[in-house]
Amino acid sequence: MALSLATFVFVPNAFAQADSNLGGIGGAGRSTVLPTDVVPLPLPEERRAVGESLKFRIFQKLPSRFYMNATCETSGRIETNVFQFPTKRQILNSATFNRGVPFGALSGEDQLALGAAVDRASQADSVYRVTPNITAGWALGPNTRVFGNYFYLRDKLARFNTLNTYINQVGTGIEHNISLPKRANLELQFMTRELWQVNADPVFDYIPSTTLSIPIRNNTIAYFNALAQFRSLNFFGAVNREIDPFFTIGALHQRGTWSYSANMTYLVNFRRGFKDASIDVNSQTIICDFEIAKQLFKKIPGFQGFIRAEPVYNFGTDNLPGLAGMDFRLFYGVRGAVSKPPLVGTIQLLKQRYQDPPKQQADPNKGKKKDPKGKTNTTDPAKTQPGDGNKEPQKDDPVGGPSAESVPNTDGAQTAQDTKGAPAEGELTSLASQTTSSAPAEIIPCSSDAILETAVPMHGFITDTEKEVSDANLISGLNRAKDALN
């Protein structure tokens, strides 16, 4: 009787039963997929916020409210504890020393089962993984979006092929951004998804989350995320499997073509008490993530090579095999990103700037001296040259551009005297540019067609910070827009 627990824990049939109950995701012996591998944590979004992603010219043909993000990560990794088992000493002590039973007192069958369990502890392997992730949505407004998501994960191990797995996810959700002081941002999101894993029951998740992002510098972002996963075995069914809260804190820094990120996630799995729980055991996990990435090609900003260290600490399960011990994963690979941001907010800002009438038009005579009779003195007596008393004072241009009288006559009927005193063509160009730059931008007339043309130029590559890379097409497009405004 004293050996019944050890026999139940370590015989091969018990392992097979545990594999079936856990369903694989974060479970004992079924796969190497962690819960953080399949939940929408904020790190990929923050990478796009500070870094860059590839844009295609064809995106200018898409509606301004449509947006899309697509990433694909291909990696290899070295993993030190693929079965998520406690250490060999902890397994031996839990079966013998802690129960007051020496190893020699065990039966031959129990000794073989215990030896097989010890052999699974601290088993290392190399794993190949590919994870494409596509999100497409529609901006309801500048701060609110609805979206759909497809995610795929494939793990292939070199030695322990029984742990090979693939996962498909289809989800939909809504998110809303709230701007806070000091450029901080609060994102509220609610997502539902169906998750399929090979040789496991499909599950349905409700995932509300909130993310607070705080820019520390122009190239550094700190963030905090709180996420809850309510799991059910039925499509849009009641929560009958488990509840998993996630808490993540991290930071991302970019310097030139290099980016550095670090974050830590604390996860609690509440399974006890649910009728369809994978296993009647609660568990806790801390997962850290440290990554260094570099842009590989100057003209392809969305393509990076990276190396990532990921220590994993399991506890709170009384050394249950599959949910215990420490694991270390070292990733290396490449990642590509393509995105098309929504342009609703940008277009609205341009319309407010160029189309709305100014709140108060500046007085052109403000600050000028007046003579005792109340007339405006437009000339400075100290600067009046001798012999200029018969000349009329130069007329001031109204706000917004030169007056019709100050523009030289272009009909070819100028007199020789006018032609002699007229400025050269290069001087006219310089004068026009100075006049345009000195005019307030709020009262420049502009049509909606010109606004849309300048709002979505899509010249080559555009950064995620809405910063466009200068090239010949960009300069020519801006010149055309300036000609339309003039």
pLDDT tens readout for residues 218-264: 889 999 999 999 999 999 999 999 999 999 999 999 999 999 999 99
What value does the CA radius of gyration of the chain take, rounded to a whole number of Å? Answer: 34
Predicted local confidence at residue 15, as pLDDT: 42
Asked if the model's pLDDT at residue 351 lies above 80, the reply is: no
Asked if the model's pLDDT at residue 66 lies above 80, the reply is: yes
316 backbone φψ class: left, alpha, beta (φ>0; ψ -120 to 50): left
**Of the CATH numbers 2.40.50.100, 2.40.160.40, 3.30.70.980, 3.40.50.12780, which one belongs to the domain with range 17-87+114-341?**
2.40.160.40
Write the DSSP assignment of 366-401 as a string of letters.
TT--B-TTS-B--S-GGGPPTT-TTSPPPPPPPTTS
C-alpha neighbours within 13 Å on the C-beta side of residue 361? 10
> Quick one: tokens of 382?
């100290």
Q: Which of 340, 392, 470 is nearest to 61 (CA)?
A: 340
Give me the mean pLDDT over the 77-102 stretch.
86
Predicted local confidence at residue 44, as pLDDT: 52
How far apart CA 344 and CA 65 sit, in angstroms, is 6
Asked if the model's pLDDT at residue 335 lies above 90, the reply is: yes
- The answer to whether 470 and 478 have CB atoms below 8 angstroms apart is no
> Quick one: tokens of 239?
């929560």
- Number of Cβ atoms within 10 Å of the Cβ of 297: 10
The mean predicted confidence, pLDDT, of the chain is 75
Name residue 17's amino acid. Answer: Q
User: What is residue 120's three-state secondary structure?
Assistant: helix
291 vs 182 pLDDT, higher one: 291
Characterize 45-80 residue by residue with b for buried, 16 or more Cβ atoms within 10 angstroms of its Cβ, and e for exposed: bbbbbbbbbbbeeebeeeebebbbbbbebebebebb
Give me the mean pLDDT over the 65-91 stretch.
92
How far apart CA 153 and CA 48 sit, in angstroms, is 20
> Quick one: tokens of 332?
């290396």
Give me the mean pLDDT over the 269-296 stretch.
93
Strand partners, 193: 171, 205
Using 50, 70 and 90 to split pLDDT, how confident is the model at 214?
very high
286-309: pLDDT as tens digits:
999 999 999 999 888 889 999 999
Give me the mean pLDDT over the 67-75 stretch.
93
Using 50, 70 and 90 to split pLDDT, how confident is the model at 50?
very low
59-68, 268-277, 298-307, 375-384: lowest mean pLDDT where?
A: 375-384
Whether pTM > 0.75 for this model: the answer is no
User: What is residue 432's three-state secondary structure?
Assistant: helix
Asked if the model's pLDDT at residue 126 lies above 50, the reply is: yes
Domain boundaries in the chain?
Answer: 17-87+114-341, 344-358+434-486
Asked if the model's pLDDT at residue 374 lies above 70, the reply is: no
Give me the mean pLDDT over the 336-349 stretch.
78
